[in-house]
Structure 1
Amino acid sequence: MKPKVVLIEGLPGSGKTTTARLVHEIFTEMNVKSQLFLEGDLDHPADYDGVAFFENNQWDELLSTNEEYRALLSRHGIQQGDGGIFLEYRKLKNTYESDFPDQLLNIVFRNDVYELPLEPHKKLITKRWKSFVGNVLTGSETFVFDCCFIQNPVTMGMIKYGAEKEDVISYVTELSATVERLNPLLIYVEQDDLEHAFRKAVQERPIEWSEGFIEYYTNQGFGLKNGCEELEGTLQVLKARREWEEDIFNRLPIAKYKVNNSSYEIDEYKQVLAGIVSQYFR
């Protein structure tokens, strides 16, 4: 059975997005029908981005304290069969702009799936993956996912909440067990020099990205527990994260490869990826 999902993982700045795009490009050249979903895709079939979740009582409170927007919220709230409501607030903001004001956006954001406590977050994400597997199991397409399989659980568990390592590993292995029916292929992108790769990303990306990243990594969870501060502290957290992800990678019972993207030679790198992919899609 050919893989129905290719999972691209690696540390920030390693080249995950480039790798995901190249794999999708390789599939196109091989006449393999595939869909590419990058980080932040609002239509991701196995993840949530820009989506808030409310328990029924929380939803009622949101409506009662925002009467002016009750009709809009009620019209777009997505009821769940087992309780709770999803609100795709980023899509609403993009659609309604000033009619969905920042004040309301900030209120809704507090219930973003990635702002929830770890256990309810994990429950929602695991359910999302199970739904995705069920929906695509009998289809013919292959899906290429960028960083939602290892990175997101590690970021939530380790970086945001400072959870125990074994609990984070358990989270990822549960996702692995869920997706195993799709015969997944994991490609993990590495860099020889983590510090150089991250500093390069900081230089190349907008300052808002680096400031937000550093704050996220040092002011909560693992970074806060270990007294990590500013850029140097962020690098300490990233080095610890690399060790955790190495352990996770070694434990996963799925087809997996490590690829080195240190040279940034795109043509040579693409050939390496094509060699890996071709083993499964002949």
Structure 2
Amino acid sequence: MRSKLVLIEGLPGCGKTTTAQLVYEILTEMNITSQLFLEGNPEYPADYDGVAFFKKNECDELLNTHEKFKDLLSNLMIKQGNDYILEYRKVKIEYGPNFPDELLHAVFKHDIYELSLDQNRKLITERWMKFADRVLNGADTFVFDCCFIQNPVTMGMIKHDAKKEDVISYVIELETIVAPLNPLLLYVDQNDLDHSFRKAVKERPQEWSEGFIEYYTNQGYGKKQNYKGLEGTLQVLKARRELEEKIFNGFNITKIKVDNSSYNKNDYKQVLKGILSNYYKQTN
């Protein structure tokens, strides 16, 4: 069966987004109908971005605490069984100042990636299962940027300093869910992690690097190791790389490491084109 899913993974600064965009271009050139979802897309069909989760009592508390916005919130809440979700990022874009920062901060505390690891895993795996069931018999191929390995590892290791086996089992559960889609995993590699991350810090907005360093050193694994600043963040990334290497080696799905150390986009596209062409010949 033709692959219905191409997964792009790798460490920050390695070129995941560029890879995902190139894969989408190549699939289009191969006349394969595909859909591209990059990190941060609130429409991600197998993940949540900018979405809060509330149990009924938590939802009631939010409505009562913010009485002024009770009608608005009631209309925006999406019921899921006995619980509720609120796609607050999309709501903020649509409503602007009518959805004030005070309310946004209250909602953000319930973001799905601010929950416990167990609750996050339950919600995310359910989301992946619904996606896999929905697209199994469809014609499109989906290209996903960094939500398959990165998000569970970030949530488990970086945020909660969970046991390695718990993080690994989370990702392996996702592998089991997507296996019927005959996925192809492309893991973007760099031969010099230090250089690639420092390059990303230099090229991206200061706000990004400051937020990233804070996230990696002020909680979970980084905080426990007492890592600080950019150098400490690099130490966390090295530990993350070791864990992701172990996860990658344990996968049964088709997996390929691609070297993007040269940052030569034209040459890199040809490498990806060769990989995708060979893979789709084998799976057609």
Number of the residue aligned with 2:267: 268
Look up the SS of the partner of 1:163 in the other structure.
Answer: coil
Letter in 1 for 2:29: E
Number of the residue aligned with 1:151: 150
Letter in 2 for 1:266: K
For 2:89 and 2:127, the matched residues in 1 are separated by 18
- Check conservation: 1:2, 1:280, Cα contact below 8 A: no
Number of the residue aligned with 2:32: 32
Look up the SS of the partner of 2:187 in the other structure.
Answer: strand
Deviations 1:34-82 (A, max 9, x none): 000000000000000010000011001111111110111111100012x
For 2:5 and 2:245, the matched residues in 1 are separated by 21
1:281 corresponds to 2:275: no
Letter in 2 for 1:31: N
TM-score by length of 1: 0.99
Number of the residue aligned with 2:16: 16
State the number of aligned residues: 281
For 1:92 and 1:220, the matched residues in 2 are separated by 28
1:255 corresponds to 2:260: no
Letter in 2 for 1:261: N
Deviations 1:216-244 (A, max 9, x none): 00011110111111000000000000000
Look up the SS of the partner of 1:231 in the other structure.
Answer: helix
For 1:277 and 1:113, the matched residues in 2 are separated by 33
Q: Kindly state the Cα deviation for residue 2 of structure 1 after the two structures are TM-superposed.
A: 1.0
For 2:186 and 2:222, the matched residues in 1 are separated by 27
Number of the residue aligned with 1:45: 45
5+ residue gaps, structure 2? none
TM-score by length of 2: 0.98
Number of the residue aligned with 1:203: 202
Letter in 2 for 1:6: V
Letter in 1 for 2:187: Y
Letter in 2 for 1:240: A
Look up the SS of the partner of 1:159 in the other structure.
Answer: helix
Look up the SS of the partner of 2:36 in the other structure.
Answer: strand
For 2:39 and 2:10, the matched residues in 1 are separated by 13
For 2:279 and 2:218, the matched residues in 1 are separated by 42
> Where in structure 1 do 4 or more consecutive aligned residues deviate above 3 Å?
none
CA RMSD of aligned residues (A): 0.6
Q: Kindly state the Cα deviation for residue 120 of structure 1 after the two structures are TM-superposed.
A: 0.3
Number of the residue aligned with 2:179: 180
For 2:124 and 2:62, the matched residues in 1 are separated by 23
Number of the residue aligned with 1:213: 212
Q: Kindly state the Cα deviation for residue 96 of structure 1 after the two structures are TM-superposed.
A: 0.6
1:194 corresponds to 2:204: no
Look up the SS of the partner of 2:258 in the other structure.
Answer: strand
Task: Answer with 50-59 or 271-280: which moved more.
Answer: 271-280
For 1:253 and 1:73, the matched residues in 2 are separated by 44
Number of the residue aligned with 1:58: 58
Look up the SS of the partner of 2:6 in the other structure.
Answer: strand
5+ residue gaps, structure 1? none
Written as runs of structure 1 = structure 2, the 5 A alignment for 1:89-100 is 89-100=88-99
- Check conservation: 1:5, 1:142, Cα contact below 8 A: yes
Letter in 2 for 1:262: S
Q: Kindly state the Cα deviation for residue 280 of structure 1 after the two structures are TM-superposed.
A: 2.6
Look up the SS of the partner of 1:35 in the other structure.
Answer: strand
